[in-house]
């Protein structure tokens, strides 16, 4: 899948960290797209002042290739398309054109769609992998099952002491858990210090790998 969209049902689930890590740990040139506005802070970048994806969606004439002009370098293989000025229009008629172009180009795109349902048009072409990022939290799961589109897979951020298990999450959401991410103080420290882009903590880097492993991709197919 060329385009991977990450979202959560409740704030603070770990979506931005997961999206950033998926992009940073891909050795191929990868584009990270920020629909929510927090990726620069999580990546330790200065707050962007220029245009972003929100501006492109609001402009009538700009071709999809113009989105590349918005990219801010994160590291040697990762570029960030910032949110830009104002909120992203999830209903914009321009999404299909952009997704088709991303899919045709074939360069991996990771979208941080924040909390709440992602733009439905991101899934129109059938080339998008949808990932729900969630804790094993009853309230989050209750909210997630009411949201469309449904995810292809779940990234479970595992807090100690939760009563619900991965299989309960799978049963509630109706999609496989394709990665289990531990709560790790090294991750929180890296984010707070703006150092995630400089060095993804080892455990997180290892745990995120299963998202692109053949068994996971087979499960979501």
Q: Which is nearer to ligand ATP, 36 or 55 (CB)?
A: 36
Q: Per rule CB under 5 A, is residue 16 in the interface with Mg ion?
A: yes
Residue 137 CA to residue 142 CA, distance in Å, equals: 9
Q: Which stretch binds Mg ion (CB under 5 A): 31-39, 52-60, 63-71, 96-104?
A: 31-39
Q: Per rule CB under 6 A, is residue 34 in the interface with ligand ATP?
A: no
Q: Which stretch binds ligand ATP (CB under 6 A): 51-59, 62-70, 96-104, 187-195?
A: 187-195
Q: Which is nearer to ligand ATP, 185 or 214 (CB)?
A: 185
Instruction: Report the residue from 36, 110, 141, 179 that binds ligand ATP according to the rule CB under 6 A.
Output: 36
Q: How many residues form the binding site for ligand ATP (CB under 6 A)?
A: 20
Q: How far is the CB of 155 from ligand ATP (least distance, A)?
A: 10
Answer left, alpha or beta for residue 31, where phi above 0 means left and psi between -120 and 50 means alpha.
beta
Q: Which stretch binds ligand ATP (CB under 6 A): 8-16, 72-80, 87-95, 148-156?
A: 8-16
Instruction: Report the residue from 181, 197, 208, 211 that binds ligand ATP according to the rule CB under 6 A.
Output: 181
**DSSP string across the chain:** --EEEEEESSTTSSHHHHHHHHHHT-SS-EEEEESSS-HHHHTTPPPP-S--HHHHHH-SS--GGGGGGG-EE-SSSEEEE---SS---TT-TTHHHHHHHHHHH---EEEEEEESPPPGGGGTTS-EEEEEEEES-HHHHHHHTT-SSPPSEEEEEE-TT-S--HHHHHHHHTS-EEEEEE--HHHHHHHHTT-TTT---HHHHHHHGGGGSHHHHHHH-
List binders of ligand ATP among 46-105 (CB under 6 A): none
- The Cβ of residue 21 has, within 10 Å, a number of other Cβ atoms equal to 27
**Binding track over 33-72 against Mg ion, x by CB under 5 A:** ---x-x----------------------------------
Q: How far is the CB of 158 from Mg ion (least distance, A)?
A: 18
Q: What residues make contact with ligand ATP under the rule CB under 6 A?
A: 8, 11-17, 36, 38, 114-115, 157, 181, 183-184, 187-188, 191, 204
């Amino acid at each position: 899948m060329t385009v991977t969209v990450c979202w959560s049902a409740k704030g603070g689930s770990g979506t931005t960290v997961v999206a950033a890590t998926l992009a940073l740990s891909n050795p191929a040139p990868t584009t990270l797209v920020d629909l929510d506005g927090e990726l620069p802070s999580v990546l330790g970048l200065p707050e962007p002042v220029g245009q972003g994806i929100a501006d492109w969606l609001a402009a009538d004439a700009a071709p999809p290739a113009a989105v590349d002009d918005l990219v801010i370098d994160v590291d040697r293989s990762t570029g960030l398309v910032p949110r830009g000025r104002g909120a992203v229009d999830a209903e914009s008629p321009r999404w299909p054109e952009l997704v088709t172009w991303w899919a045709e180009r074939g360069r991996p795109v990771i979208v941080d769609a924040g909390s709440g349902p992602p733009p439905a048009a991101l899934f129109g072409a059938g080339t998008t992998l949808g990932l729900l990022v969630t804790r094993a939290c009853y309230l989050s799961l209750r909210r997630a099952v009411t949201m469309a589109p449904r995810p292809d897979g779940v990234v479970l951020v595992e807090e100690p002491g939760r009563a619900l298990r991965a299989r309960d999450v799978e049963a509630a959401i109706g999609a496989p858990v394709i990665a289990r991410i531990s709560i790790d103080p090294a991750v929180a420290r890296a984010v707070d210090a703006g150092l995630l882009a400089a060095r993804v903590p080892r455990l997180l880097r290892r745990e995120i790998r299963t998202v692109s492993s053949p068994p996971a991709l087979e499960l979501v197919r």
